[in-house]
Amino acid sequence: MDVALEKRQVKRAYKLYAPAYDFVFDWIFHPGREAAIRLLDIRPGQHVLEVGIGTGLNLPLYPPRCRLTGIDLSEEMLRKAHEKVEELGATNVTLRAMDATVMEFADDEFDSAVATYTISAVPDPVAVLREMRRVVKPGGNIVVLNHFRSERPVMGRLEDLVAPVCTRLGWKSNLPLAPLLQRVDLVPDLAEKVNLFNGWRLLKCVNRK
């Protein structure tokens, strides 16, 4: 069952989630976030892109000697992120409201890019990953942390059944991983399961153009 996720649903959902997002999601997903930022292998002076930065939960995890640009579709979430930037005194961070399917960046502008818990919450995950490939330099790291449709038949069918409800809440519960990677020509150099019950997958890909 394929239920389309629309941009208006995403914006509406995360406008509602913004006030309580950190309280609900931080402790559950924090181990995966730490691992994802670590896999970027950020070097001093490098320019990193975070797609779907949300309220900025990852901000304290970045090394201070890099440049970070974070984008998100939800202006309500970004307001929370701006508050964190001010609290941290992070002068190396730039935040922009932007549709990740049509990024306003030049080709090869970033040394690496990361999307944590974002790919299943965008209307067009293929377009987002293609844009990440476009704006990351050849040989740069692309790290994706997300829930994908289970490879276990029973669990996969259950995720298909709840997909219409999850879509109304702003994300897809049954996004299949293998066809997605095939369509954007990405091959993981590392893939592991993380977080509670190993329910999320962490992927590190090298951008081989």
Expressed as residue numbers, the domain containing 23 is 7-206
∠ CA(56), CA(62), CA(66), 5° rounding?
115
Q: What is the pLDDT of residue 151?
A: 82
* Percentage of the chain modeled with pLDDT above 90: 67
- Check if the beta carbon of residue 93 is closer than 8 Å to that of residue 66: no
pLDDT at 143 (0 to 100) = 98
Residue 119 lies inside a defined structural domain of this protein: yes
| Mean pLDDT, the chain, whole residue set | 88
CATH number of the domain within which 78 lies: 3.40.50.150
Instruction: Say which residue, 4 or 174, is predicted with more confidence.
Output: 174
For residue 2, the model assigns a pLDDT of: 46
Q: Residue 118: CB partners within 8 Å, gap ≥ 6?
A: 51, 52, 54, 100, 128, 146
> Would the pLDDT of 4 be above 70?
no
**Residue 140 maps to a domain:** yes
Q: Is residue 1 part of a domain?
A: no
- Tell me what pLDDT residue 51 has: 98
- Residue 154: inside a domain: yes
State how far the Cα of 191 lies from the Cα of 35, in Å rounded to an integer. 12
pLDDT at 13 > cutoff 60: no
pLDDT class of 153 with cuts at 50, 70, 90: confident
Domain count, the chain: 1
Q: pTM of this prediction?
A: 0.86
Higher pLDDT, 120 or 48: 48
